[in-house]
Structure 1
């Protein structure tokens, strides 16, 4: 993420949460950068995400999600956030025509939804408000490559996010500019074949990288997962309400869309040959 212009001071905080590196980036004047309230907002953001991990982690045996899976208690007996996410996941299944399902394995597992939801909520509660502090220009959070970004109304700052070419380390497929919004990426490139098509139970391997830009990280994360599952079928973009996106197939082909319209198709290897 690089500046469009200006000489704002940049501060970065990093913690490991949900099994990934989470970083908060803030830009503004020296007065803004040294405000104790800024550090407090970042600390509150990290604390909320640690709490979400304690509730929703599928790897921690003491989490609410793990306890529900083992039958120790029901969703209604868990932390109230679990019921909220369960309702949201049921709606997401309906909205995605089954391309996302939280119960496809026979138990409730909101992986593919909850990280975006948790980061979006924490960012809105604690980071968005720092833009009202004196001298603030921008603030953003990056959770394992998924980003929620904010810019002050009176700032000329633009977040420039590079979309990596999953087949050629160090190369970019595209760069997107965001003032206020979210960017999420899913696929096989970073973590291997970990995404499952809930309709079949088989691994979704046709998409190496699916990047989605949306108004919120909840939406961007959800639809990036859907894009990775749906493969060559982009019919879902007509009702997804995403801003834009880029798919890089396992064979190297690249497809892009803007709003509800596909705007570019590049067959395998054509991007690098151009």
Structure 2
């Protein structure tokens, strides 16, 4: 089964453009039930922004930082994310931390988590509907993607070259899963190494493919913080990924193994 029609919905949430892409028959992409599920996914993200935004004075996170409420008083999702962040800090050997400033700030984790949660609750179940081919959500370049069983659909995801704006460094093919990219190319040195409190340097971008967007987003951030050190990669929940250093060097891995891509000018050496 291949996609005959496509429909895209776009909203600005969490300070970024969030788009949902549905592929399938005209009846599926145009169905009121499909549109309703997309609206519910957007609503989940707006609620996550209301709870976790550090830019909103009335968010649960801002109120926690000011001491107006305790973790026990906050929305139950805050405790869930706090637990996940502590686990991420342990698994990343401190390369990720939501508390390094002295208060709880899950900014580096919560977007991927929230997008994946909205997708699994409201979007990915749609691929079981009659006429569905594939559906995915893209939040500022971080994606959770799904494809109907029996479909030959493949998501072809372009990975931007951070050292050559407008150029594509690689194409990642995904049927079901997530892709996330973190880096300094577009927003500057906004990623901080929590172990030192200084901006992470050395890697301009890190892209990770995983089952889960929360995991992909986490490890993409860790990839930037770790710089040229890939010692974290074997224990990470990733399928594949790549990092691009400031000097343009690219390192790639599949599963738990780093791979090399070698070009030979002399065909006799192949």
Q: Indicate the TM-score class for this superposition, using the shorter chain for normalisation.
A: over 0.9
- Please give the TM-score of this superposition, normalised by the length of structure 1: 0.94
What is the DSSP-based 3-state SS (H/G/I as helix, E as strand, rest coil) of the residue aligned with 1:77? coil
Query: After superposition, what is the alpha-carbon deviation per residue over 1:204-241, rounded to whole angstroms, capped at 9, x for unaligned?
Result: 02111100000010100000010010000001111002
Unpaired runs of 5+ in structure 2? 263-270
* Structure 1 residue aligned with 2:151: 155
How many positions carry a matched residue from both structures? 262
Deviation at 1:265, TM superposition (A): 6.5
Query: After superposition, what is the alpha-carbon deviation per residue over 1:33-82, rounded to whole angstroms, capped at 9, x for unaligned?
Result: 12110000000000000000000001111100011111111111111100
Matches within 5 A, 1:123-162: 123-162=119-158
Instruction: State how far apart, in whole Å, the 2-side matches of 1:249 and 1:34 are.
Output: 44
* Structure 2 residue aligned with 1:22: 18
Instruction: State how far apart, in whole Å, the 2-side matches of 1:132 and 1:195 are.
Output: 38
Residue 241 (structure 1) aligned to one of 237, 241, 249: 237
* Structure 2 residue aligned with 1:106: 102
Instruction: State how far apart, in whole Å, the 2-side matches of 1:78 and 1:194 are.
Output: 28
- 8 Å contact from structure 1 (residues 241, 260) kept in 2: no
* Structure 2 residue aligned with 1:202: 198
Q: Which runs of 4+ in 1 moved over 6 A?
A: none
Deviation at 1:8, TM superposition (A): 1.7
- 8 Å contact from structure 1 (residues 254, 265) kept in 2: no
Aligned-residue Cα RMSD (Å) equals 1.1
- 8 Å contact from structure 1 (residues 138, 157) kept in 2: yes
* Structure 2 residue aligned with 1:45: 41
* Structure 2 residue aligned with 1:220: 216
* Structure 2 residue aligned with 1:271: none
- 8 Å contact from structure 2 (residues 3, 23) kept in 1: no
Q: Is 1:57 the equivalent of 2:53?
A: yes
Instruction: State how far apart, in whole Å, the 2-side matches of 1:113 and 1:260 are.
Output: 22
* Structure 1 residue aligned with 2:71: 75
